Amino acid sequence: MNFKHLVGKSTLKEGITIHKNYESFFESPKVGDKKEITLIFGDSQNTRVALRKLNNIRQHVQIKYTTKSHVQFINWLNDIFKATKFGRVGEFLEFKKISSDVYKLIPITIQDSHNTRLYIADSMHYKSLDIVDKDLYLGEIESIVNSIKFQIDEGQSYYNKKLEQAFIEYSWQKEGRAIPELDLKYDFRKNGIQIEVEFGNARSYYQDYIKFMLSYCSRQIHLGMLITPTFDFANILCEIGKQKALLRGRKSYSGMMHYEKAYKEFTYLKNIFDMPIVILGIDINYL
């Protein structure tokens, strides 16, 4: 697991705030304490920076680099992330853990993203291993996901639109009724497989399971599949959304569903399902 940070103006000047899910990745100090960590950047250059956990309400964990000894590192950031410096949104910095308190920095710039696509990074299968046409729901859907190019400054609406176009190109039915009696629409359906793509608010995805069960109990499908971004990808999209909201004068941006949430919650929900269900987590493939 690596940590990906969306680069903003403060990144280029003074520091980074660490998401709470990555506190263990950075071996965060106790509240009110700090320690030094080493960042390797550029051509094997390195700098020592402060990692601290603030004694505030949210107990933020931050990486700070504000002294004269950090000038070379700050100059490197500004040279690499020129697009962010001039107002673009979407470049980010990946932290790869080398050893305890040592991290290698991998910049992802506008130029680096041109040949980057999405891929299926993780999956969970429930009662689905014996389905005969599994090549369809894995092979074809993998091709659909791989066909989507990552756009470094685009948010969730872009990926919803591109996935919709790709599913239609593969002859999937779009937005029909889960059952004829109710005006409750699925996202995509083909050959007894129903797919819900969930890039939206994390509080609303439970409705997807209702649609699966309605369609399954009426014998219209034999498999329900939930496609959602991984936590890393969702976090990137959320940060892009927040920055775009600020540029438009809005002060808030709602959270996003992610694979890890669905996986964790399904371990408690699975006993109520008597049907095959697959959950896929999609992420960015930089290679």
Would the pLDDT of 247 be above 70? Answer: no
pTM: 0.81
Confidence of residue 58 (pLDDT cuts 50, 70, 90): confident
All domains of the chain in start order, with CATH: 3-113 (2.40.330.10), 117-285 (3.40.91.20)
Confidence of residue 151 (pLDDT cuts 50, 70, 90): confident
Calculate mean pLDDT across residues 143-159: 90
pLDDT-above-90 percentage for the chain: 64
Torsion angle, CA of 40/16/236/209, rounded to 10 degrees? 120
Would the pLDDT of 152 be above 90? Answer: no
Would the pLDDT of 108 be above 60? Answer: yes
Calculate mean pLDDT across residues 203-232: 93
Residue of 38 and 5 predicted with greater confidence: 38
DSSP state of 147: T
164 DSSP β-pair partners = none
**Buried residues in 256-268 as b, exposed as e (16+ CB within 10 A):** bbbbbbbbeebee
Poorest-confidence range of 77-81, 149-153, 179-183, 189-193? 149-153
- Model pLDDT, residue 24: 93
Contact status, residue 238 vs residue 159, Cβ threshold 8 Å = no
